[in-house]
A and B are shown apart, each in its own frame.
Chain A
Amino acid sequence: MDVAIQIVASGLTLGAMYAISTVGLALVYGALNMLNMAHGAILALGGYVCYQVMAAMGLPAPLGVLAAMVVCGAVGVLIYHLAARPMLRSQNFETQIFIATIGIGAILQDLILRAFGPQPKPQPLALSGALNVGGVAVPYQNLLILAVALVMMAAMAWLLGRTRTGRAIRATAQNRDAAQLMGVRIGRVYAQVLALSGALAGLSGILLSSISGLLPTMGSDPMLKAFVICVVAGLGQVQGAAIAALVLGLLEALIQYLFGVQYAFAILLMLVIGVLIWRPFGIFGRRQVVRL
Chain B
Amino acid sequence: MTSGKRDLVILLVLVLAMATVPAFVGTRYIITTLTLFFIWTIVVTQWNLVLGVAGIFSLAQMALFAVGAYGTAMLGYYFGMTMPPAMLLAALATVLVSLVVGLACLRLAGPYVALLTLAIAQMLYLLVVNDTACFTNPPSGCMPFFGGVRGFSRFGDLGFRDLLGSKWYVGHYYIGLVLLALAVAFTILIFHGPLGLAFRALRDNPGYAIARGVGRLKYQLWVFGLSAFFTGLAGAFYAVQFGVVGPIVFSVSMLLFLLAMIVVGGIGTIWGPLLGAALLTLADETMREFGDYRDLGLGLMLALFVILLPRGLAGVRGLQRPQG
Binding site for B on A (CB under 8 A): 29, 35, 82-83, 86-87, 90, 94-100, 102-107, 109-111, 220, 224, 227-228, 230-231, 235, 261-262, 265-266, 269, 272-273, 276-277, 280-281, 288, 292
Distance, CA A230 to CA B114, complexed state (A) = 12
* A102:B206 contact, CB within 8 angstroms: no
Q: How far apart sit A106 and B253, CA to CA, in the bound complex (Å)?
A: 9
**Set B119, B120, B295, B303: member contacting A104, Cβ < 8 A:** B303
Partner of A288, one of B104, B109, B111: B109
Given that A106-B295, A106-B302, A262-B126 are contacting pairs, would A220 and B112 also be in contact in the complex, using a CB cutoff of 8 Å?
no
Minimal Cβ-Cβ distance residue in B for A228: B119
Pull 16 A–B residue pairs with CB atoms less than 8 Å apart, ordered by A: A83-B307, A87-B306, A100-B302, A102-B299, A103-B304, A104-B299, A105-B299, A106-B295, A106-B296, A106-B298, A227-B115, A262-B126, A276-B112, A280-B108, A280-B109, A288-B109
Q: Chain B, 53-70, contact with A by CB distance < 8 Å: what is the 0/1 string? A: 000010000000000000
Beyond A102-B256, A102-B302, A106-B295, 10 extra complex contacts between A and B, CB < 8 Å: A35-B115, A94-B111, A102-B259, A103-B256, A103-B304, A227-B115, A228-B115, A262-B127, A266-B126, A269-B120
Judge if B310 is at the interface, Cβ distance under 8 Å: yes
Chain B residues 99 to 134 lying within 8 A of chain A, measured CB to CB, are 104, 107-112, 114-116, 118-120, 122-123, 126-127, 130-131
Query: Chain A residues near B263 (CB, 8 Å)?
Result: 99
Q: Bound complex: CA of A111 vs CA of B293, how far in Å?
A: 10
Quote the shortest CB–CB distance from A179 to chain B (angstroms).
Answer: 21
Contacting residues, chain B, for A288 (C-beta < 8 A): 109
Q: Which residues of A contact B130 (CB under 8 A)?
A: 261-262
The reply to whether the CB of B207 lies closer than 8 angstroms to some CB of chain A is yes
Which B residues are in CB contact (< 8 Å) with A35?
111, 114-115
Enumerate chain B residues within 8 angstroms of A90, measured Cβ to Cβ: 310
Give the interface SS of chain B, mostly helix, strand, loop or mixed: helix
User: Contact between A103 and B114 (Cβ–Cβ < 8 Å)?
Assistant: no
Q: How many residues of B contact A (CB 8 A)?
A: 40
| Bound-state Cα–Cα, A273 to B107, Å | 11
- Is B118 touching A109 in the complex (CB atoms < 8 A)? no
Which residues of the partner chain B approach A99 to less than 8 Å between Cβ atoms?
259, 263, 302, 306
Find out whether the CB atom of B119 lies under 8 angstroms from the CB atom of A107: no
- A90–B111 CA distance with the chains assembled, in angstroms: 16
Chain A residues, Cβ within 8 Å of B207: 292
Interface residues of B in 169-206 (CB under 8 A from A): 206
Given the complex of chains A and B, what is the CA–CA distance between A288 and B112 in angstroms?
13
Let me know if B302 and A103 touch, CB within 8 A.
yes
Contacts of B302 in A (CB 8 A): 99-100, 102-103, 106
Whether B119 lies near A269 (C-beta < 8 A) is yes
Q: Is B301 an interface position by the 8 A CB rule? A: yes
For A29, A83, A97, A100, the residue with the greatest tally of chain B CB atoms inside 10 Å of its CB is A100
Q: Compute how far the CA of A90 lies from the CA of B295 in the bound complex, rounded to whole angstroms.
A: 27
Contact call B306/A96, Cβ cutoff below 8 A: yes
Q: Pick the contact of A280: B107, B111, B308 (CB < 8 A).
A: B107
In the complex the two chains form, is B303's CB within 8 Å of A276's CB?
Answer: no
User: A35 CA to B59 CA in the complex, in Å?
Assistant: 14
Q: How far is the CA of A90 from the CA of B120 in the complex (A)?
A: 29
Our pick among B114, B126, B293, B303 for the contact of A83 (Cβ within 8 Å) is B303
CA distance A107 to B260 in the complex (A): 13
Given the complex of chains A and B, what is the CA–CA distance between A110 and B299 in angstroms? 9
Contact among A111, A269, A292 with B296 in the assembled complex (CB-CB below 8 Å) = A111
A224 to B252, CA, bound (A): 12
Whether, in the assembled complex, B14 has its beta carbon less than 8 Å from a beta carbon of chain A, the answer is no
A266 to B129, CA, bound (A): 12
A279–B53 CA distance with the chains assembled, in angstroms: 27
**Complex contact A266–B115 (CB within 8 A):** no
